[in-house]
Amino acid sequence: MTFRRLALFALVLATLAPAAFVRADTPVPTTIKDHRFTMDDGILIDSDIYLPDAPENGPYPCLVEHTPYRKELRASEGAGFLATPAQGFVLIEIDARGNGGSNGEYDIVFSKREQLDAASVVAQAPYLQVNGHSICKNKVGMFGGSYSGIIQYLVASIPSTWSYDRNTPWGGTDGLSGPPPDLAAIAPQRAYGDLYRDIVYHGGIVIGSFGTVWSAGTTGYYTAPPLDLNTPQGQAAWTDHLTKNDPMIPHYIEAPYEDARYDSNASTPPYSQDLYKDSSILPRIGNLRVPTLHLAGEFDAFTRGQLLTIEKALQQEYADPSGHGPNYAVIGPWNHSNTHFITPANPGPPVDGSNPSVLSALLAEWYHHWLDAGPVPSFMAAGKPRVWYYRLGNGALLDTTGSWQQTNAWPPAATYERRYLRAGNLLSVDAPTGAEAGDSYVANPTAGTAELLSRYDNAASGSIPMPAWDQRTDEPKGLSYSTAAFGSPVRVTGPINLHLTAETIGLRKIDPVSDSGLLQQLPPYHDTDFIVKISDVAPDGTALLITEGYLRASHRTLDTNNSEFDSVSGDVIRAQHYDDSGHIAPPPQGQPVSYDIEIWPMAKVFAADHRIRLDIYSADTPTHLTLLKPALNTVLHGLGQESYLTIPIAPEN
């Protein structure tokens, strides 16, 4: 070990002493613009670094935020969460490769190469010096929401087979693999778990907002020039963006299955990856070992995937406490834009037992504990449950009529009960005892008016208000089934499954020539989509959308290894389907077929005198780009052809 390396090692050890979080004098914040980190392939990754005080008063606990949305724009949000002069953090904002002031190619979201860039920056942070002073302690955290939250999960779970270098101050490179060794804590906000199922395809149906809103907006970010365009580095970065970056959405449209591959066309050296699996935390959840504070919303575009990530992370931690976690989670009545805003009108969990928390204070406690030897946060006190979740009352966005609940697992313990679809548009506790006529509807591409912007926002337009449309608006476009009015409150908490028995008949002859498969909207075989909705029906008949599920008939093959089953009845309680090209199974026309349809989880009290309503359609335009082929679909529910919901009923507490 060289003398220089020994000196740096001694400096790192000196930073382990606890730091006072409040200074008696007045801090002097320092900003370093356009510091560029060198990656192992020579690409320069641009950053702005915000110090809470002068460099000579460091080192400080450091947080890294990685974004394609321009580092200078994200910094204002970061400062709003973690006001650096007051709370004592260094905030390192980095532009993703191919964006802002960073060189390189940006063609797909969360590429393998992009993940390794973020890992390399985290690994280099403890060696940063300004005017000869180290500014970061040797424990580093990652910070942020949405894109910046997703990359936290990915960097913290990088496979041990992926290698990258940390360019060190002594001029050499340290070959690294797996998560960065100095990554000590993360707090992902509103972050997906599965790129394929959470962003691009729901149940095999392409999500409209990803291509039409998000990818177009992000293209606008990377085609805009860097702020330091007057420098050679800025000019080189912008040249890369304009000559190497391709529109993102074609890669996903051209490769519509989870076994798709991606090969870079402009990176040097080029690389290849599994398009979806290598950009998702759930397939490699076993690698998530660092302390994680998960922050999720019940109205978020990523509700399904992040709640499943929380579930799996807690399960593996309890199985191996010494090797994973700890994991804590806050699941609130938020959508994609307001997960992180906790106010008296938008309550957070009473983590101290009485008062609503302020998220910035909660995060400061979390990061200081893991990065700065700070005290144990109040919500981590011995014996405290791991998960705070909001049980919705009326079920509207930012609901204040419900209550905060605590549990050590997600989903919490529940008893799974069937509600059978029956003749007369009923959802009944009684199973059919004989034959019943099925219910038919013609697939209507205009269905979806009633849920437009009223439940799960699309992560690209999360700031748009979500009105509580009456779901009866769409009633003529599909089928509806309802329970009887409840005599007492019913608490539904967790994922729901619809076991559907149905027939489908195409109303247009298939033409293998004209049915080109464009956007998967015209496959050269018969197919149909199922959109299912759960609503809360008030005594006056008004139906408020609570949750939804989606499945393309040809994607129905159940992945039993990754689905979940009730230990008592054996019923599917969370369906996951194979979505690789080898498992596509077009439904035979006019024959009964069974489908298990995953309905996104909820935590909701259905009040006395209210009812649960199930709607079945074949479109929800424009949220999903559903099939352009007309079909006659018939739902069956007689003896031997049962259709039923499996619902998690939570005990009163």
First-to-last CA distance in the chain? 60
Does 93 fall in a domain?
Answer: yes
Averaged pLDDT for residues 592-612: 97
Where does residue 638 rank: exposed (0-12), middle (13-18), buried (19+ CB within 10 A)?
Answer: middle
Question: Which tokens in the block code for residue 349?
Answer: 């969990």
326 upstream amide cis, omega within 30 of 0: yes
State the CATH number of the domain containing residue 423. 2.60.120.260
Examine the pLDDT at 412 and tell me if it is beyond 90. Answer: yes
The whole-angstrom separation of Cα 345 and Cα 354 is 16
- Residues 126, 201, single domain; the answer is yes
- Residues 398, 425, single domain; the answer is no
pLDDT given for residue 139 in this prediction:
95
pLDDT given for residue 223 in this prediction:
84
Query: Which of these three, 373, 406, 439, is where a domain ends?
Result: 406
pLDDT given for residue 215 in this prediction:
73
Contacts of 575 (CB under 8 A, 6+ apart): 497, 558, 563, 596, 597, 598
Does 58 fall in a domain?
Answer: yes
- Dihedral sign, CA of 572, 573, 578, 583? positive
Question: Which tokens in the block code for residue 91?
Answer: 């905030």
- Residues 383, 498, single domain; the answer is no
- Dihedral sign, CA of 53, 57, 59, 60? negative
Examine the pLDDT at 506 and tell me if it is beyond 90. Answer: yes
Averaged pLDDT for residues 478-489: 97
Contacts of 40 (CB under 8 A, 6+ apart): 116, 120, 164, 165, 167, 173
Expressed in percent and rounded to 5, the helix, strand and coil fractions of the chain are 25, 30, 45
- Residues 496, 550, single domain; the answer is yes
Query: Which of these three, 350, 373, 406, is where a domain ends?
Result: 406
The model's pTM is 0.92
Does 344 fall in a domain?
Answer: yes
- Residues 384, 518, single domain; the answer is no
- Residues 393, 353, single domain; the answer is yes
State the CATH number of the domain containing residue 304. 3.40.50.1820
For residues 179 and 287, the answer to whether their CB atoms sit within 8 Å is: yes
The whole-angstrom separation of Cα 264 and Cα 103 is 15
Where does residue 643 rank: exposed (0-12), middle (13-18), buried (19+ CB within 10 A)?
Answer: buried
Does 597 fall in a domain?
Answer: yes
Question: If you ran DSSP here, which 8-state letter would residue 145 be given?
Answer: B
- Residues 435, 399, single domain; the answer is no
pLDDT given for residue 19 in this prediction:
34
Does 10 fall in a domain?
Answer: no
Assign 312 a pLDDT band (cuts: 50, 70, 90): very high
Assign 564 a pLDDT band (cuts: 50, 70, 90): very high
Who wins on pLDDT, 464 or 412? 412
Question: Which tokens in the block code for residue 195?
Answer: 């790129």
Sequence-ordered alpha helix ranges (H) in 320-423 = 359-372
- Residues 255, 121, single domain; the answer is yes
Does 11 fall in a domain?
Answer: no
Does 12 fall in a domain?
Answer: no
pLDDT given for residue 586 in this prediction:
95
Averaged pLDDT for residues 558-582: 96
Averaged pLDDT for residues 477-488: 97
- Residues 245, 200, single domain; the answer is yes
Angle ∠(257,263,264) on CA atoms, nearest 5: 130
Which span out of 110-124, 342-356, 518-532 was modeled with the highest average pLDDT? 110-124
- Residues 439, 562, single domain; the answer is yes
Averaged pLDDT for residues 294-305: 92
- Residues 193, 236, single domain; the answer is yes
Each residue's pLDDT tens digit, 80-98: 566 555 578 999 999 999 9
Query: Which of 1-10, 448-457, 592-601 has the least mean pLDDT?
Result: 1-10
Please give the biggest Cα pair distance in the chain.
85
Examine the pLDDT at 60 and tell me if it is beyond 90. Answer: yes
Count structural domains, the chain. Answer: 2
pLDDT given for residue 499 in this prediction:
98
Assign 214 a pLDDT band (cuts: 50, 70, 90): confident
Examine the pLDDT at 172 and tell me if it is beyond 70. Answer: no
- Residues 438, 532, single domain; the answer is yes
Does 15 fall in a domain?
Answer: no
Query: Which of 31-40, 102-111, 245-254 has the least mean pLDDT?
Result: 245-254
pLDDT given for residue 353 in this prediction:
43
For residues 653 and 482, the answer to whether their CB atoms sit within 8 Å is: no
Query: Which of 371-380, 459-468, 538-547 has the least mean pLDDT?
Result: 459-468
pLDDT given for residue 61 in this prediction:
95
Range of the domain at 276: 28-406
Averaged pLDDT for residues 540-559: 96
Query: Which of these three, 360, 380, 406, is where a domain ends?
Result: 406
Each residue's pLDDT tens digit, 519-530: 677 888 999 999
pLDDT given for residue 360 in this prediction:
73
Q: Write the DSSP assignment of 551-600 as a string of letters.
A: EEGGG--B-TTTSEE-TTT--EEE--B--SGGG--PPPTTS-EEEEEEEE
**Average model confidence (pLDDT) across the chain:** 87
